[in-house]
Structure formats: C-alpha cells, structure tokens
Amino acid sequence: MDEFIIPSYLTYQEDPECLQWYNIEGKERINELSRQLRTYLNYKKASIRLICSDSNFSSDILKTDSVQKWEDRFLSILSQYISLIKKIGVQNERIKEKIFHLKIKAISQPNCQDAILLKNIKQVGNELWKILHILSGLDIHTLPQVLKLSIEILVHLCDAESELNPFFSDFYKKLRLNYQQLEREYKYLYITIKNVQDNKKNYKKRVMIPE
C-alpha cells in the first residue's frame, strides 16, 4: 500500500536513484493530468455539439461497433465500482471522506480488509478513467444518456482522486468543480430539450384528424 503513504513522511529525496524515480513518476503523472484535462475538454465539446445539433434524445440512434463496445465496457466496470463504494457506505457523504478513513486504516494495517478494498477501488477507478477518456473521443454526443452518466461519474471520480493523490489534490478539486458546472449545464439542456420534444408530441396529437 505504498501509494497511500503520506508524501511528507518520505525521507530519501536526495538519493539519486529515488530522484530518477521521481522524475519518471512525475512525467507519468503529468501525462495523466494532461490526459484527464483532454477528457474534460472532450466532454465539454460533446455537450456543445449536442446543443448545436438536431439530435433527439432517442434510443433509436444507430451506434457504431466501437461506441457500443466501449459503452458496454463502461457500464460493466461502473457496476463493479458502484459495488465497491457501496461497501464503504457512500450515501449522503462524499466518497472523499470515506476514502480518507480507509487510507488511515491502510497505513496502520496494510493487510487489512479495508486496505484491500481501498486498493480495489483505486484500480477499478483507474479503469473507469481510461474508458471514459476513450468514450470522450467517440461520438458520445449522439448518446445523451451515456454522456449524462459519464459526467456524473466523473464528478465522483475527481472527488475520490483528490484524496487518493494528495500531490495533485488541488488539480482534482478544480476539475471536479468544472465537471459539476458541466453537469448542471447538461441537466438544464436535457430538461429544455425534453420539454420541447414533449410540446411537439402534444401538438401533433392535438392536430391529428381522426379517421
């Protein structure tokens, strides 16, 4: 459970081998943050494309094999993730608070069940990040429900990541705020479009001439 050790307790920064490790790890982290920023921008772009398109909130939209494949993968991994966070009792509390308590236990008892659960949450969460990034690069604006669900999950993933990665806590906190804003914008868009569609359906019913 070394990834959960509090960074300020590390005492070997001047070791050349450790410095080299930090440089490699740092580059990987920067690449990861860059990828996650692109993910956000892709979802923002998808929301804008949905607003500017004539897309209907319909399940009849033809899906490509690639989109279908990653949508299925997303829902499968999401089911695993939800099962894991239910075990730590995430309900009204934010997941960040629950993960903090798991980290304390994991540091003092690396082999306990809570430590194993925390490791599994981190691994499955990482898999979700990767899948959501791939989905963001596809025509997800044609799948409004998947787009909506993806944004909602990314809010929670950012919250969890801000606790799992203390070095980049501020980054994930700010990213979470951006996803929350995007979520609010999307809900407003969803309600607006649904109201327009319902009005159109009601109008058609009123003007129908009985046979």
User: Do residues 166 and 6 lie in contact, with contact meaning Cβ atoms separated by under 8 Å?
Assistant: yes
pLDDT tier, 144 (very low <50, low <70, confident <90, very high otherwise): confident
CA dist., res. 67 & res. 46, Å (int): 14
Read off the pLDDT of residues 52-62 as tens digits, 9 standing for 90 and up.
Answer: 765 454 444 45
Q: How much is the pTM? A: 0.75
Read off the pLDDT of residues 85-132 as tens digits, 9 standing for 90 and up.
Answer: 888 877 656 888 888 888 888 888 888 888 899 999 999 999 999 999
Residue 206, in any domain of the structure: no
Residue 4, in any domain of the structure: no
Domain of residue 129 covers: 15-53+63-197
For residue 1, the 8-state DSSP code is -
Number of compact structural domains in the chain: 1
Residue 1, in any domain of the structure: no
Residue 58, in any domain of the structure: no
Please enumerate in sequence order all residues whose Cβ is within 8 A of that of 80, keeping only pairs 6 or more positions apart, or say none.
124
